[in-house]
Amino acid sequence: MSVMGIFHQLDCWHTIPFDCECQVRGEQMKMKKYASFDDYLDDQPPKNRSVIRALRRFVKRVEPGLEESVKWGNGCWVKGKVPISYVYSAPDHVQFGFIRGSALKDPRGLLEGNGQHLRHVKVRTPADIDEDVFKAFLQQASR
C-alpha cells in the first residue's frame, strides 16, 4: 500500500506523527523522511518535478501565507501547524490534494477520492493546472 493509501485508511490523519512508521491492515509502512520541500522535490522523477514546481509557484502566488513542509513523506502546505494541501508523486501523475477535500465545493466534479476527508486532482503536466478551479479549491481549503 502506498503512503497516500494510508491517508485513505485512517479517519484520524491529524493525529499521525509527521515522520513515523504506520501499520495499516497489518502491513508496516515506513514513510520516507525529507528535511525540506526542496529535498522532497529533488527526489521525484523529472517529469513530476516540473508539475510539482508549477504547483509550488501556483500555491505561493494564490496563498502566500501557507508554509511549505513535508508530512507523511509528501510535499505539503500548512497554515500554522494545520496541513491544508499536499502533492503526492505517483508513477504517471502528481496528486494535488486537500486534507479536508471532502468539504470543498466541487461543481465540476474534478476532485477524486472516496475516503472520509482527502480529495485530490490528478495533474500530469503543468498545463493541466486549471488556475481558476485550483484557486477556488485552495482558497476554500485555506479558510
Mean pLDDT value of segment 5-33: 48
Q: Residue 121: give the domain boundaries.
A: 33-141
Task: Compute the distance between CA of residue 97 and CA of residue 132 in angstroms, rounded to an integer.
Answer: 16
Our CA angle for 10, 12, 16, nearest 5°, is 95
pLDDT band at 90 (very low <50, low <70, confident <90, very high): very high
Does the pLDDT of residue 98 top 90, yes or no? yes
pLDDT band at 12 (very low <50, low <70, confident <90, very high): very low
> In the chain, how many domains are there?
1
The set of cell numbers assigned to 5 is 493509501
Summary mean pLDDT of the chain: 85
129 belongs to a structural domain = yes
11 belongs to a structural domain = no
* CATH number of the domain enclosing 94: 3.90.1150.200
6 belongs to a structural domain = no
More confident residue, 17 or 32: 32
117 belongs to a structural domain = yes
55 belongs to a structural domain = yes
Tally of helices (H runs) and strands (E runs) in the chain: 4, 7
